[in-house]
Chain A
């Protein structure tokens, strides 16, 4: 079993198309355990029910945004160790700084390439294969 197959990933994005693209990219990287949520609230509900090892979340979402979800994940002892990558369509320094303060592992600007996503995940978990 490869490392990628063991990692449970939670995708959080309000756009169906973005979730599909990300899910496709992760499948290509060898991930098998992928769950998806449409906003931060739903994402946190899933994390509370079953903590995932890696959360890849969009920033701009209704209800609870990516930073809100990051804060919630880091505040709960059961989920705080999860790796957290934030995706953003509008990359700006203030967001990156805030994300770093709240304990994000990485911030990736959209549109990202599969290679960039792989590098971001491997920076946390080590080589996937």
Chain B
């Protein structure tokens, strides 16, 4: 309880990302089939986390699909946020969590989400220094962005069901303020 009491806890929900430089901050989230990417630059002392569920089916995951573009966008927001706070792309390291198997749907959305995150990080040359993905149970995740320490607790079957049900609600991808600006 000691470190939990001392820590400033910041909870992240689906579609959000946070970047912090305060070593006392712990980022937390609850994952069913969603995936959280935890990135940090150990030299600059900056880290962050996002939390996403790619919408759509396996077909939408192919290159150029809406789901892929949405996922790439959420990863880019996190990376841009880190770079703004002094991180360097070549020093970034990642941990990925989540992507539990969902009982509710036929396609394994969780697995696809984890595969997307892995592929993205591999393509960008960001090493994955730790991961825990898949499985039958959801996760409660805590991440200390400066030290890179991560801790997860498995959710019970009922908690997982509840989390997945919440995740499956239709989510409108966050729209930037200006979607398209034409000046002539």
Contact = CB atoms under 8 A, between A and B. Distances in A.
A24 B73 contact: no
B63 A24 contact: yes
A109 B176 CA distance: 7
A93 interface: yes
B64 A28 contact: yes
Contacts, number: 89
A16 interface: yes
B124 A17 contact: yes
A89 B72 CA distance: 10
B180 A15 contact: no
B181 A114 contact: no
Interface stretch (A4-12, A49-57, A72-80, A100-108): A100-108
A128 interface: no
Contacts of B125: 16
B178 A89 contact: no
B179 A17 contact: no
A64 interface: no
Interface of B: 63-64, 66, 68-70, 72-73, 75-77, 79-80, 83, 88-89, 120, 123-125, 173, 176-184
